[in-house]
Structure 1
Amino acid sequence: MPGGRLTYEDRQAIASGLADGLDYAEIARRLARPTSTVTREVARNGGPCRLPRRAGGAGGHTARAPTPTGLARARADRRIRPRT
């Protein structure tokens, strides 16, 4: 595994290479990385039109609204239903 993890600058270089119409092998040669690393990075981040992405920004658009916990639901049920 040459070089370890990709840096943000590497990801920017991948994005600019894709924008310039370079293929994955050429981008990988310019970064001195294996072609599979570039291919996986592009696939992991949603394809050629979605790079670069900052860490931690993946969940913002897919997050669901929080749901009440079981205890909060039980309390709400007690308020609505009369005790018998």
Structure 2
Amino acid sequence: MEEIVRGQGAEARTVAIIGGELRAGLSEAELLHLATAEGVRKVSRRDLPIVVARKLDGATTVATTMWIASRFGIQIFATGGIG
């Protein structure tokens, strides 16, 4: 998805939680880590404080992606999530 976005001249920034830190923009190594590591949580808004406090990794739901993106000044985003 990121390659397609960049190909259209837009900035691609995957949103996730890495080691308890909210992130908008991941390295290839971080993307691979999220895709392959055990224990990566699916994080909804209600789970966010726990994942941050425990310094865990998390992939975000649409609601959490929207919330984190807004904190980084991202006003428009697309998601590939299907539930």
Structure showing the higher strand proportion among its residues: 2
Of the two, which has the highest radius of gyration?
1
Q: TM-score range by the shorter chain?
A: under 0.3
Compute the TM-score of the two structures, normalised by the length of structure 2. 0.23
Structure showing the higher helix proportion among its residues: 1
Compute the TM-score of the two structures, normalised by the length of structure 1. 0.23
